Each structure stands twice: as C-alpha cells, then as structure tokens.
Amino acid sequence: MRVLYVAAEVAPFAKVGGLGDVAGALPAALSRLGVDVRVALPKYRGVPAGLAPVGEFPVSVGGAERPCTVFAGRLPAAEVPVYFLGHDPYFDRPGVYGEGGTGYPDELERFVFLSKAALALGPAVGWVPDIVHANDWHTALIPASLRSGDANLPAKSVFTIHNLAYQGRFPRERGAALGLNAVGLGAVVRDGEINLLQGAIRTADWITTVSPSYAREILTQGEGLEGELQARRNALTGILNGIDTAVWDPERDPHLWAPYSAVDPSGKRENTRHLRAELGLVETGGPLVGMVSRLAEQKGFDLVIGGFERMMALGIELVVLGEGDPRYAGFLQNAERRYPGRVRAILGFSEAWAHRIEAGADIFLMPSRFEPAGLNQLYSLRYGTVPVVRATGGLRDTVRDCGSDPERGNGFTFEDYTAEAMLGALGRAVRLWRGNPAAWRRLVGRGMAEDHSWDVPAREYHALYERVLAR
C-alpha cells in the first residue's frame, strides 16, 4: 500500500501548530506498520539546505505553467521519504502562512500549487500512490481533483479535518486558479464563492477528523458546513491524535534543565526552579500555571482576559508562550507589567520554551472555545503537568475531571465557555495542589503513566486505508 501524505506543515521542517506535529509523526508510525508512506510539503525557506533536486515538472496554476523542483529528504529518525516541492516565488519567504499576523495574499495560488504538485509528483520520482491523504484546506483541492478526473491519477483520497474554522474561502472569480472541470468546480462552489473545504468533504473517499468528540460536534456545530458533514456522516471517522513520544519525552528532552520520569519525578522540581529563575518569576507559594498556544480566539483567551484579576487572586504565577493576534499579545504584555514577578509573556514561537514550560509548570491551562484534538494537554500529561481544560472536542476525550472521581481523574475540566466556569476548575486545581500534596502526586503519576503514542491511532489509519482501497 502506497500512501502519499500531504500537508502545509510537517515538523520539524515547518510548524505553526499541531498540524505540523501530526504530519511529522503519524507517517513515521504508519511506516513502522509496514505502510509505504511518503510525505509532501512545500520547500519553504526554513527547509534544510543542501538537499539534492530529484525531479522537475510544470504545475499549472490559473493557466500559467510554474516549474516545480522536487527535493528529497527524510523524516528525522525514520525511513520515511519526504518530498519538498519547490517554487521559490511562492515559498522562499520568511513565514509559512504569512508574516506579523497577516496572511500572504496569494495563499490560494500557493496551496493550489502544493496540491497539484503533490498529485503530479509520481512520474518525476518513480513512485505513484494508491492513496493520497490530504490535510486541512491547503490540500483540500486534492480529493476534488482526484474525483473530477482533473488529476489524471487513479488514487483514492482520505481527507483529515484538523480545524473546520479555516475553510479556504475565496471570491468566485479566483476559481480559475484551481483549474477544475465543471464536476470539480461544482463541489467547491458554495453560496457563490470558493470553499475548498466543502470540496474535500463532498469528494473525499473518506473523511477523518482528529478526535471522536469533534467528529460528533461538527455535525451540529460545523462552522456552516454541518449539512455537508451530515451528508457524509457514513464516511466520517474521528481518530484521536497521538503524540511523538520521542520528541516529547521528559527523560530525554534536550531542551530541559533536568531529565525526569514517572519513576523519578524529582527532576521536575529542578525544571520549575530554573524556569522561574530564567523568567524572573518570584516564588509566591502558589502553583506555576503555563500556557503554550497560538494567540487565536479558538484558544479561549477571552476567558483569560475576562477572568484575569480573579485568576491572579487564586495566588498563581502565570507564564504564557504564544504568537498571533496582536489584541491578545497586547493584553499579555500589559498583564506582565501589572504583575511583575508573577506574570511572564513570551511572545513568539520557540520550540525550546514550549518544552520548558511543559516541564516546569505545575498546571497547564487550555480553556479552548473549541478544540479538534489538542496536543498540549497530552504533552502536559506526559510531563506531569496537570491539565485544566474546557471539555470540548479532543480535550473532552483526553482529560477526565478529578471532581467526579478523584482517584481516576487526570486533570480538571469545565463545560461552559465562561470565565466563571474556567475559574471554578482552576480554583479546584489550585486548592488540591495546596491542600493535598499526596493526592496531587498521585494525580501527576496517573497522567504520566498514560500512553498517548501514535501506535494505536496509526493502526486505525492503516485499517481505514485498507477499507478505502477495498471499496
């Protein structure tokens, strides 16, 4: 079985959020199961230099032929081949999607290029896929092109929705860029505009999303596409994301100050101490709460803003690592000034700080408005950092509240999207941390003992590929 896995982000080469983590890890897990899987992504500026070009072919975008140069590499610590699809006018830029919070204006053309180049790659590299597995709107043209025949490739398609909020919507006039025939175009046009995600939902042989709860939720809260999803509900599966347990391993994490494990958790305290010292946080006798997140509405920053003073009145310290919406960044900067020594905002993207916060914090806060899967709560569990999350999507599927059964829970959850509800859950966490250190240690131990590796989900994808090929 030959599977081409296509995504706009693949860690460690290009990462903005969890899509990159998934695309960098799932193919490796599939390959361990014996699947001949290969990965394709754009050759961004950040991609390692010195790769040899292995082929070149033209890709038509909006009627103009654009050369695609293919460079071959591999996923680190895996045998999985990676094809970097190069076209410098589109991809030799500082950002993946844009710069300074503004998207590149030619994002449609850039990702049409990615989708078409991935579909045309086979002859150039001497390997033709049976299944093309596409992800999110950037590659949503792939199922439509396969279905309409525009791609001229007899492959099946699997399409994964990582986030329904980004649909690839463009004015109808720009539809010429897609190069679709009437069949394909019919699938992508919605209310007089281009909606690439709708196209993939209508035409993919199978649709997956990244948690069972999100798969259910989007049938009624589907950002306008619920009807389309209902129509395909028999070909829609929620498969919970896993995590890369080699990259996220507190025993072997090169970013940490001290290694630790469930057996010997003492190193965690070292990391907390260093984190405080490096960030100039003074120890106030409360727990250290961490957040690592895109600064986007999805992630619940409105609750943090609304409940901020009451949050600080719980006696916590807070460190936030994030990049995105200037509105949230501005609030965090201001909060840091108002609470010197108790609040730190690291504004930017830093792999090292993401790992250090996961290791050094006592509590990880994720009050998401919606969350298709969420990876940070899983990293937190593995790093002995107790997650406090809103029960939505993948957060609902992975975090069990301690309130209902203190000796079975692995974190704290709240239902309503309100600052009060968030403060309730955070308050319960802080009280347990202060009042019952032994119960807290058991709670931490339970989280660290859980297995969220890709082994199980990779088997589910493998079984799905077999079903799709047999249809």
Q: Contact with ligand GLC (CB under 6 A): which of 7, 17, 187, 414? A: 17
Shortest Å, Cβ 307 to ligand GLC: 22
Nearer to ligand ADP, 383 or 440 (CB): 383
Q: Pick from ligand ADP, ligand GLC, none: which does 194 bind, CB < 5 to 8 A by kind?
A: none
CA–CA distance, 231 with 226 (Å, rounded to integer): 9
Closest CA to 11 of 28, 1, 25, 31: 25
Q: What residues does 346 pair with on adjacent strands?
A: 321
Segment interacting with ligand GLC, rule: CB under 6 A, options 15-23, 107-115, 178-186, 359-367: 15-23
**Within 13 Å of residue 234, how many CA atoms lie on the same side as its CB?**
1
Nearer to ligand GLC, 120 or 381 (CB): 381
Nearer to ligand GLC, 287 or 300 (CB): 300
Q: Which residue has the tokens 């101490």?
A: 273
Helical axes 455-470 vs 18-32, angle rounded to 10°: 70
Does the footprint of ligand GLC cover residue 292 (CB under 6 A)? no
Does the footprint of ligand GLC cover residue 145 (CB under 6 A)? no
Segment interacting with ligand GLC, rule: CB under 6 A, options 54-62, 65-73, 367-375, 437-445: 367-375
Closest CA to 345 of 359, 315, 324: 324
Shortest Å, Cβ 100 to ligand GLC: 20
Q: Pick from ligand ADP, ligand GLC, none: which does 448 bind, CB < 5 to 8 A by kind?
A: none
Under 8 Å between Cβ of 61 and 278 = no
CA distances from 401 to 54, 88, 245, 451 (A): 52, 49, 24, 18
How do strand 131-135 and strand 53-61 relate by DSSP bridges? Answer: unpaired
What is residue 104's DSSP assignment? Answer: -
Site string for ligand GLC, 196-225 (x = CB under 6 A): --------------x---------------
Does the footprint of ligand GLC cover residue 228 (CB under 6 A)? no
Size of the site for ligand GLC (CB under 6 A): 14
Strand order in the sheet with 81-86: 53-61, 64-74, 81-86, 36-42, 2-6, 131-135, 156-161, 206-209, 236-238
Helical axes 351-360 vs 266-279, angle rounded to 10°: 120
Closest CA to 73 of 84, 64, 62: 84
Does the footprint of ligand GLC cover residue 367 (CB under 6 A)? no
What are the residue ranges of helices labelled H in 169-291?
182-188, 196-203, 212-217, 226-231, 266-279
Element (H, E) at 240: none
Nearer to ligand ADP, 288 or 346 (CB): 346
Does the footprint of ligand GLC cover residue 22 (CB under 6 A)? yes
Shortest Å, Cβ 376 to ligand ADP: 4
Does the footprint of ligand GLC cover residue 25 (CB under 6 A)? no
Residues that bind ligand ADP (CB under 6 A): 17-19, 21, 292-294, 321-323, 349-351, 354, 373-376
Does the footprint of ligand GLC cover residue 372 (CB under 6 A)? yes
Shortest Å, Cβ 301 to ligand ADP: 12
Shortest Å, Cβ 181 to ligand GLC: 31
Nearer to ligand GLC, 137 or 308 (CB): 137
Shortest Å, Cβ 17 to ligand GLC: 4
Q: Pick from ligand ADP, ligand GLC, none: which does 322 bind, CB < 5 to 8 A by kind?
A: ligand ADP
How do strand 81-86 and strand 36-42 relate by DSSP bridges? Answer: parallel
Report the residue number whose CB is nearest to ligand ADP: 18
Does the footprint of ligand GLC cover residue 24 (CB under 6 A)? no
Nearer to ligand GLC, 323 or 336 (CB): 323
Shortest Å, Cβ 389 to ligand GLC: 11
214's CB contacts (< 8 A; 6+ apart) are 238, 370, 371, 372, 373, 393, 394
What is residue 215's DSSP assignment? Answer: H
Nearer to ligand GLC, 193 or 297 (CB): 297
Strand order in the sheet with 386-390: 343-347, 317-324, 288-295, 363-366, 386-390, 412-414
Nearer to ligand ADP, 17 or 199 (CB): 17
Decide: residue 245, CB within 10 A, 0-12 exposed, 13-18 middle, 19+ buried: middle
Q: Contact with ligand GLC (CB under 6 A): which of 242, 374, 387, 457? A: 374
Q: Pick from ligand ADP, ligand GLC, none: which does 99 bind, CB < 5 to 8 A by kind?
A: none
Does the footprint of ligand GLC cover residue 384 (CB under 6 A)? no
Under 8 Å between Cβ of 141 and 112 = yes
Nearer to ligand GLC, 54 or 165 (CB): 165
Write the single-letter amino acid at 228. E
Shortest Å, Cβ 105 to ligand ADP: 23
Length of the chain: 471
Interacting residues toward ligand GLC by CB under 6 A: 17-19, 22, 162-163, 210, 241, 371-375, 394
